[in-house]
Amino acid sequence: MKQSYFEIHPWALATHKFNDTTNLVTESLTSIGNGYMGMRGNFEEGYSGKSLKGTYIAGVWFPDKTRVGWWKNGYPKYFGKVINAVDFISVKITIDGHAIDLATTPYEDYYQQLNMKNGILTRSYTVVLSDTKTRINFSRFLSIKTKELAVQQIEFEQIAGNSTITVESQLDGTITNQDTNYEETFWEPITSTIEQNALFLSLKTKANPFGTERFTVSALTDLQLTVNASPQLKKVNDLLLSDTREFSLQEGTNASLLKRTVIVTSRNIPDSEHQTTAKKILADTANNFADLEQEQTAAWLKRWATADIEINGDDAAQQSIRFNLFELFSTYYGEDSRLNIGPKGFTGEKYGGATYWDTEAYAVPFYLGVSEPKVTRNLLLYRYLQLPQAKHNAAEQGLAGALYPMVTFNGIESHNEWEITFEEIHRNGAMAYAIYNYTNYTGDDSYLAKEGLEVLVEISRFWADRVHYSKRKKQYMIHGVTGPNEYENNVNNNWYTNYLARWVLTYTKHAYETYGAQSSVDVSSKELAKWQDIIEHMYLPADSELGIFVQHDTFLDKDIRPVTSLPSKDLPLNQHWSWDKILRSPFIKQADVLQGIYFFGDQFSFEEKKRNFDFYEPLTVHESSLSPSIHSIIASEIGEYDKAIEMYNRTARLDLDNYNHDTDDGLHITSMTGTWLTIVQGFAGMRTWNGELSFAPFLPHNWSSYSFHINYRGRTLQVIVSSIVTIKLVVGETLPIKLYDKNIDLTDTIKVSLK
Ligand code: BGC
C-alpha cells in the first residue's frame, strides 16, 4: 500500500506532522551526506521512541566475524560492515528541568523540511509546558565546501512565560551497530581532550583477527551562543565528552547556538596530526550560520545547474527525481577513487560492504551521463586496483582468473551465503560491461587498452574455467548459478549469465587483438582458441514456440502464472512466503533475462524484446529496488508507455512511498540511478550504441514537459521534451546525432515535433 511520508513539493521533503510510528522511515528519508560522511535524520536532542542512530564516514568499516549456521568451505571469514561512527550531532536540551524528547514532551506546530536545493535539514516545534511555550528550530548540514565540516544551528524563541534552558553538546563514542554478529563494539578510545571551549575525541576501530586496516576517526567540536552562558566542559568517560550551557529566556526573547564539528580520519591524515589539522580546519571556517549556509547553497546550486531534471505537470515525479539525485550526490560525487557507492550509502547499516555489482550495472551509466568521464574512470580504477584480491577470490573457489566480489570494501569477498558468494557470479560480467560502457560512451579507449585489458583477461580466464563442456549436447554450459533473480538458486544455464560470459570472452578477445601487442598482458594462442571455442559453442536456453530466451534450463516447467493471480496480502513475497515456496515459484525478484536485453539492446530485434518483456514482466515482483527501472526502459522502447510510467513511479518513489516496506533500514541508493536512467534512456530513448548518440523521446501523458542535460564526448547537451523536442548543443563542437530516425549534425539547436 502506497503511503506518503512528506508533502509533495518540487524542491523539498516537508511535513507538518511527526508520526512516531514511522520515525524509522522518515529518519532514512531525511538522511544527508557530502560524499565524505553522512547521517540519518536522527534528532539532535535525542529521542526515546523507535530510532536507528546512524552516522557514517565513507570508507570506514569493520570486518565483523562471520556468523552462519553451517560453515561451508570457501566462505569468507568476515563480513565487512559500514560502521556507525562517533555521534557528534547530539545536543541534549532541558527546559525548566524537563528533558526535551518528542516521545514524551508536549509540543505543537511541528514542521520538518529537507531542502534539496542546499542539503539543509530543519525541524521546529513549540514545547508547551504548564506556564511556558518555547519554540525550537534545528538546522543542520554537512558542508560541500569543506568536506570535514558539519554545521548545526539551534534557535530558541520564548513565546510565553520565562524559562531556564540548558543545552548539552556531546561527542559520543559509545555507539554500536544494530547489525553486529556477536554484539561487539567496534571502537576503542584513543584521545579525549577538552580545551579552549572545544571538545576533541579520537576513536580507533578495534584490532581484529583478520589483520585488515584499522581506522581512526577524530571529532573536534565547538559551541557558540548568542546569549551569555558559561561553558561547563566535562569528560564523562573516555568515550563521551560534553559541553553544557545554561541560560534564561524571558518572554519575547531569543537565543541561538552554533555547533561546528570537524571530522578527520586516518584515511587521509596520520593520527598524530588529527588534532592540529582539525583545529586548522575549524579556524578557517566561517563562524556564523548565515555565511556557512550561503556557501553551502552556492555549492549545491553548481551541482544542480548541470544535473537537474526538470519535470513540469507532475510535482510528485519532480520531487522524486530530485530526491534521488540529491541522495546520490550526497553519497558519491566522484572525488575519491578509493570510495564507491554502497547500496545504503550513509542511510543505514543493512547490506554492509561498500561495493556491489550495482555500481557497474546501474551507477556507471548514470555517472557517465551527468559528470565528467574521470568520475566513471575512478569507479573503474577502483576495481582495477582490487584485481589481486579478485584473483584471490577466484582461487578460493578453486578457479582460474579473477572473480570480483558480490560485497566488499577491500576487494576480498565478504558475503557469506553460498547461493550468492559462490553462485551469483554474473557480477563478474558486469565489471567487464562497465569497461565497455565507459569506452563506448566516452570514445576514450586508453583505459581499455591498459588497465581494462588486464581486468578483462582475468575475468575471461575465470569464465573459461567456470564453464564445462557437455559431451552429449556438444555445448558449453554453466551450472550451479544464481542469476540476478535471487528468488532461484543453483540453477543451470541461467540465460543472462551464459550470454554475458560469452560476450565477455568475445569482447576481451577483440580487445586483446587490438591492444594486446602494446600491453604487458600475455594470452597464449591456445587460450585464445579455447575462448573462441566457448564463444562458438555456448549453450543459451531458448524456446522457439514462445519465441523467448529461457531464464534457465527448467524455468518453463514451473507453475507459470502471473503476479496478478496472487492475493495482494502475499506481497511482498519475501515478507510473507517461506523461502522454499519462493524458490519453487515462477515469480522473479528482479530483471534477469530482461537485464541482458537491456545491456545488449543492439543485439536483439524489436520483436524479441517485446516477446521477452511480455512474458517476463507479468512474472516479476520487483522486490529488488534495481528492477523497475530496467523494465521501464524496455517498456518505453517497445511502446508500452503506461507500463513505463508505472515502473518509473515505482523506481522514483520507491523510498518516498516505501513501496517495498523496507525504507526503515535505509534508502536504496544504488537503485536511485535507475530513476535518471528511466527518464533519459527510457522516456527520452537515449542510446549510444556503437558510439552513435540517438534519442527517440515520448512524453508521459500527465507531464507537460521534461528537460535534462547530459555530458557526451566533450559536449554538454540539453534535451527538452514537450510537444516539441528541442536538443541544444550547450558546450562543444558539432556532433552527429540521430533523432527518431533522422541523422542530424547538431551545431546549435534543433526542434522537431514529438512523435
Ligand atoms: C539484489 C542484488 C543487489 C543487492 C544490493 C539485492 O536485493 O537482488 O542484485 O546487488 O540487493 O543492492
CATH of the domain at 741: 2.60.420.10
In a domain, 388, yes or no: no
Beta strands across the sheet bearing 715-721: 310-312, 705-712, 715-721, 724-731, 749-753
Start-to-end C-alpha separation, the chain: 35
Whole-number pLDDT of residue 350: 83
Q: What amino acid positions are annotated as catalytic residues?
A: 486
Whole-number pLDDT of residue 182: 85
Evaluate: CB of 673 within 6 angstroms of ligand 1.
no
- Give the length of the chain: 755
Q: Quote the ligand 1 centre to 425 CA distance (angstroms).
A: 13
Distance CA 198, CA 192 (A): 11
Q: Find the mean pLDDT for residues 196-200.
A: 90
Please name the residue that has the C-alpha cell 543453483.
490
- Confidence bin at 3 (pLDDT 50/70/90): low
Q: Which of 229, 261, 293 is the last residue of a domain?
A: 261
Whole-number pLDDT of residue 2: 62
Helix (H) or strand (E) holding 263: strand 254-265
- For all residues of the chain together, what is the average pLDDT? 96
Distance CA 93, CA 623 (A): 42
Show the cell assigned to 641: 508507455
Q: Quote the ligand 1 centre to 356 CA distance (angstroms).
A: 8
Distance CA 634, CA 369 (A): 19
Under 8 Å between Cβ of 93 and 167: yes
Under 8 Å between Cβ of 198 and 221: yes
Segment 500-548, tens digit of pLDDT: 999 999 999 999 999 999 999 999 999 999 999 999 999 999 999 999 9
The number of folded domains in the chain is: 2
* 512: helix, strand or coil: helix
pLDDT at residue 67 above 50?
yes
Task: Please give the number of the atom of ligand 1 that sits closest to the Cα of 351.
Answer: 5
The percentage of the chain sitting over the pLDDT mark of 90, rounded to a whole number, equals 93
- Confidence bin at 660 (pLDDT 50/70/90): confident
Q: Quote the ligand 1 centre to 186 CA distance (angstroms).
A: 26
Under 8 Å between Cβ of 323 and 116: yes
Segment 724-751, tens digit of pLDDT: 999 999 999 999 999 999 999 999 999 9
Segment 257-272, tens digit of pLDDT: 999 999 999 999 999 9
Residue among 421, 486, 655, 672 to mutate when testing ligand 1 (max atoms within 8 A of CB): 486
Q: Find the mean pLDDT for residues 566-581.
A: 96
Q: Find the mean pLDDT for residues 388-402.
A: 97
Segment 271-329, tens digit of pLDDT: 999 999 999 999 999 999 999 999 999 999 999 998 999 999 999 999 999 999 999 99
Tell me which residue has its CA closest to atom 1 in ligand 1. 624
pLDDT at residue 337 above 50?
yes
Q: Quote the ligand 1 centre to 553 CA distance (angstroms).
A: 23
Evaluate: CB of 665 within 6 angstroms of ligand 1.
no
Q: Which of 235, 261, 287 is the last residue of a domain?
A: 261
Q: How do strand 149-160 and strand 163-172 relate by DSSP bridges? A: unpaired
CA distances to 12, 122, 287, 684 from 151, in Å: 19, 12, 10, 39
Whole-number pLDDT of residue 1: 47
Task: Please give the number of the atom of ligand 1 that sits closest to the Cα of 358.
Answer: 10
Evaluate: CB of 590 within 6 angstroms of ligand 1.
yes
Q: Quote the ligand 1 centre to 481 CA distance (angstroms).
A: 15
Q: Which of 245, 261, 277 is the last residue of a domain?
A: 261
Distance CA 342, CA 668 (A): 9
Please name the residue that has the C-alpha cell 541522495.
327
Whole-number pLDDT of residue 557: 98
Evaluate: CB of 627 within 6 angstroms of ligand 1.
no
Whole-number pLDDT of residue 539: 98
Q: How do strand 254-265 and strand 240-249 relate by DSSP bridges? A: unpaired
Q: Quote the ligand 1 centre to 624 CA distance (angstroms).
A: 6
Q: Give Cα 578 to chain centroid, integer Å.
A: 29
The percentage of the chain sitting over the pLDDT mark of 70, rounded to a whole number, equals 99
Evaluate: CB of 343 within 6 angstroms of ligand 1.
yes
Higher pLDDT: 230 or 540? It is 540
Segment 611-633, tens digit of pLDDT: 999 999 999 999 999 999 999 99
- Confidence bin at 197 (pLDDT 50/70/90): confident
Residue among 328, 331, 358 to mutate when testing ligand 1 (max atoms within 8 A of CB): 358
CA distances to 36, 503, 749 from 383, in Å: 20, 19, 39
pLDDT at residue 573 above 90?
yes
Segment 429-450, tens digit of pLDDT: 999 999 999 999 999 999 999 9
**Pick from 754, 686, 691, 680: which is nearest to 723 by CA?**
754
In a domain, 612, yes or no: no
Evaluate: CB of 624 within 6 angstroms of ligand 1.
yes
Under 8 Å between Cβ of 134 and 127: yes
Residue type, 215: F
Phi, psi of 166, deg, nearest 5: -120, 145
Range of the domain at 718: 684-755
Show the cell assigned to 315: 510535482
Evaluate: CB of 84 within 6 angstroms of ligand 1.
no
pLDDT at residue 353 above 80?
no
pLDDT at residue 65 above 70?
yes
Tell me which residue has its CA closest to atom 12 in ligand 1. 343
Q: Find the mean pLDDT for residues 224-231.
A: 94
In a domain, 525, yes or no: no
CATH of the domain at 210: 2.70.98.40
Q: Find the mean pLDDT for residues 321-340.
A: 94
Q: Find the mean pLDDT for residues 625-652.
A: 96
